[in-house]
Chains A and B, each alone.
Chain A
Amino acid sequence: MKPDPPKILLVVAGALFGQLLPEVRTPFGQQTVTLAGGVLGMIAQEYDRAAARLVEENEVLVALLGTARPVVTAADLRERIESATAHVPARDLHVSALQAANDGLRSVLIDVQAEVESLAGTAARAVNGLIWEELRESTRRRHLETGRG
């Protein structure tokens, strides 16, 4: 569908800022228009990247949890790793499906990190370091330009 949806969203945001905002007289109305334009700008950024971001992150998480599995000592947590990594959709690229898999993987990641924090040894420390690196990277993937100074 052309023009690309992000472009449409930015055109609408531009109309809100450029055409509607000067006509609005109340401070609350001005805030509402400004928020609406800002939200459209953020959705425009997320629209194009959302599926790619989730596919990339899910692959990284599957690999990371695979690395963590031999270090984890709790049997039920090992089973949860296997279950979560097995439920990443190979062909369904709907954002909702990718997000559901991502939620499952990150939920297990929380418990894996809690466990390796409690374990001694270089292997556990190395896995914890990899998890922190992934958490940093996860914020970079989600970063939005918001115009906040």
Chain B
Amino acid sequence: MTPLEAGLVRYLESHLQRASSVAITNLSRIPGGASRETWMFDASWEEHGKALTAPFVLRKDPPASLVESERAVEYAFYSAFERSSVPVPHMRWLEEDPSHLGSPFFIMDRINGSETNTRRILEPDLDPSRDFIARRMYEILAAISTFDWEGSAISRVMKPPPLEECWKHELDYWEGMIDANELSPQPIARAAIRWLRANPPPPPKRVSVVHGDYRVGNFLYNSEGIHGVLDWEMAHLGDPIEDLAWSFMELWEAGQPRRKGGIIDEDAAVRIFEGASGLKVDRDALHWWDVFSGVKAQGIWLTGARSLNDGRTGELILIYTSYALINLQDEILLRSLGKGA
């Protein structure tokens, strides 16, 4: 038994009430997960003489990552959407004490029979389902954007920014991340930040939940639709157009030019979002949030590069993002600013 398996057994023995003979099987790390280590495992135990099993996912803090965020905040956003029209896995336990598994973590139920792969969604056997998945993607985003978060678990971990400062709140944060983490000067990101400050978007009509990384790759899908929205580590309160613009970023087009996430045209996605949310998408605001998305993404890649450079992590995915994505993001930012080749 590995130390992680042994730690999980001890933890479940103390947290599954009236459980005995707890065993862990099929523990394996899930690819991706550049912000937290994500592991899947099956647990079995006995309760009142009955044998029970359940599939779980463990999200565990790494020594360093692309995104430095509070797991309690992510847990709260997941919890807030349980029993809503936004599908999310059921949360089981949030553990801040690092003594159990070496770092803080949370455990949630695993949704089987679906996947997050950004390439798989483009394969021919999913041709009949792709339009439906794309429609559901933007209907679910509309449900996130119109979710009544006041009084939910979210309001216990986060204060809303003033309407007119939603853009500034996010831009200040991500400019600060670039200030703290750049290993070399970033003239393109800095020019983009100056443009963003000189051309602020109109305030949104409401402060919404913003997932913060809403895109193909961060929801569980199969031919039947979308079954779970994942990776809420950058979730916050703000302008709903932020999520829409992030999902449209050129970086996610997966070799399908102007197909957002590789699966839908921008105008079609906006129509679905507007119809389902009742919110009007201001095209100038969408452009502002597109440029912002490029700055934010650059902040994420630079944070990963810094973690790697400082020896706080040896995750190979951070070498990839440092080498492959920082310049690519600059190329995309130039196009977003109308300065591309």
Contact = CB atoms under 8 A, between A and B. Distances in A.
A32 B187 contact: no
A146 B320 CA distance: 9
Interface stretch (B26-34, B71-79, B89-97, B298-306): B26-34
A139 B29 contact: no
Interface string A3-42: 0000000000000000000000011101110011011001
Contacts of A60: none
A103 B184 contact: yes
B151 interface: no
B187 A142 contact: no
Contact of B28 (A26, A102, A107, A114): A26
Contact of A136 (B30, B184, B320, B340): B340
Interface stretch (B202-210, B239-247, B326-334): B326-334
Interface stretch (B4-12, B46-54, B188-196, B222-230): B188-196
B28 A27 contact: yes
A135 B339 contact: yes
A113 interface: yes
B176 interface: no
Interface in B177-192: 184-188, 190-191
B323 A135 contact: no
Nearest to A99: B184
User: What is the interface residue range for chain B against chain A?
Assistant: 20 to 34
A139 B323 contact: no
B66 to A, nearest CB: 14
B334 A148 contact: no
Contacts of A135: 187-188, 191, 330, 334, 339
Contacts of B185: 103, 106-107, 109-110
Interface string A117-139: 10000000000000110011011
A93 interface: no
Question: Is the contact region of chain B dominated by helix, strand, or loop, or is it mixed?
Answer: helix
A144 interface: yes
Contacts of B323: 39, 42-43, 46, 144
A31 B118 CA distance: 14
Nearest to B317: A35
B316 interface: yes
Nearest to B33: A28
Contact of A113 (B187, B254, B328, B341): B187
Contacts of A149: 254-255
A27 B187 contact: no
Given A27-B31, A31-B32, A144-B327, 15 more contacts: A28-B29, A35-B317, A39-B323, A42-B324, A46-B323, A99-B184, A103-B184, A106-B184, A135-B188, A136-B340, A138-B330, A139-B331, A146-B324, A146-B328, A148-B328
13 contacts: A28-B31, A31-B317, A39-B316, A106-B184, A109-B187, A110-B185, A113-B187, A135-B191, A135-B334, A138-B330, A139-B330, A142-B327, A143-B327
The 3 residue pairs across chains A and B that have the minimum distance between CB atoms: A149-B255, A31-B31, A28-B29
